Amino acid sequence: MCATCGCSGDHDHSHGHEKGHSHDHSSKTIIDIERDILQENNLLAERNRGYLDAKNILCLNLVSSPGSGKTTLLERTLTALKDELDFAVIEGDQQTTNDADRIHATGTKVTQINTGKGCHLDAHMVMHALQGLKPKENSVLFIENVGNLVCPAMFDLGEKERVVIMSVTEGDDKPLKYPDMFHTSTLCIIKKTDLLPYVNFSMVKARENALKANYRLNIIELSCTTNDGMESWFNWLKAKINSPEFIT
């Protein structure tokens, strides 16, 4: 995990798991540092947002646990809509250019950020990526965050909206266990629905749990294997583009 968001192994996370612990001086210091980092991040995120707004770019931050299907969803979306919309992608992973290579194969402009030991993207990384990528005016920019349902929730990147993806193989309780990610998102995509017959997952419970974390959350169920539900996602995306804020 990473040193910047406070989840590094350097810090003692055992507090809170033991009965009768007291918040000592070291715990307080950790909270102060975290606040400083987030303040700096938030300033840079606003700068990114200003740049993106000025160019009328719809920026969506895709967040999920590892392997829930973010890159697959992007591959399908970029391929299906490339004649209708201009896209660019920022890929975030700890290591490898695997995902950027997959996006590049669709013919889309893409840049990869490797975070090393870091477990999330931050606004500073995205600012540098934007300088190199130079997304077109009136386009859609997808940022695929590092697979992690915890730390990316804290880091505003300057996106317009956050899209949280969960797959049916992860369990229907994820919104209850990681509420911040669902609370800060506007759309929840429940993915890999083709696997529903094989896993112990209640769609009713998953929806209830997601709405407990955020009662305004839009929810779309889909499968990239059967394409069921893909049209709903495309329609959601096109509605964003056609909203008065993004008339091109």
In the complex, which residues of this chain contact ligand GTP (CB under 6 A)? Answer: 64, 66-72, 99, 147, 191-192, 194-195, 223-225
Residue 64 binds which entry of ligand GTP, Mg ion, none, CB below 5-8 Å type-dependent? ligand GTP
Query: Which of Mg ion, ligand GTP, none interacts with 224 (beta carbon under 5 to 8 A by kind)?
Result: ligand GTP
Q: Phi and psi at residue 191, in whole multiples of 5°? A: -110, 170
Work out how close the CB of 98 gets to ligand GTP at its nearest, in angstroms, rounded to a whole number.
8
Q: How far is the CB of 73 from Mg ion (least distance, A)?
A: 9
Contacting residues for 22 by C-beta, under 8 A, at least 6 apart = none
As measured in angstroms, the least distance from the Cβ of 80 to ligand GTP is 14
Write the burial class of residue 245 (CB in 10 Å: 0-12 exposed, 13-18 middle, 19+ buried): exposed
DSSP 32-90: HHHHHHHHHHHHHHHHHHHHHHHTT-EEEEEEESTTSSHHHHHHHHHHHHTTT--EEEE
Q: Which is nearer to ligand GTP, 38 or 122 (CB)?
A: 122
Cβ proximity to ligand GTP: between 119 and 123 the closer is: 119
In whole angstroms, the minimum distance from the beta carbon of 233 to Mg ion comes to 17
Angstrom distance (rounded) from CA 24 to CA 14: 12
Residues that bind Mg ion (CB under 5 A): 70-71, 99
50 interacts with, out of Mg ion, ligand GTP, none, CB within 5 to 8 A per kind: none
How far apart CA 32 and CA 28 sit, in angstroms, is 6
The span from the CA of 150 to the CA of 181, in Å, is 7
Which of ligand GTP, Mg ion, none is residue 69 near (CB under 5 to 8 Å by kind)? ligand GTP
| 92 or 158: CB nearest Mg ion | 92
Residues counted in the chain: 248
> Which residue do the tokens 């829930």 mark?
68
Q: Which is nearer to Mg ion, 162 or 214 (CB)?
A: 162
Partner that binds at residue 6, options Mg ion, ligand GTP, none, CB closer than 5 to 8 Å by kind: none
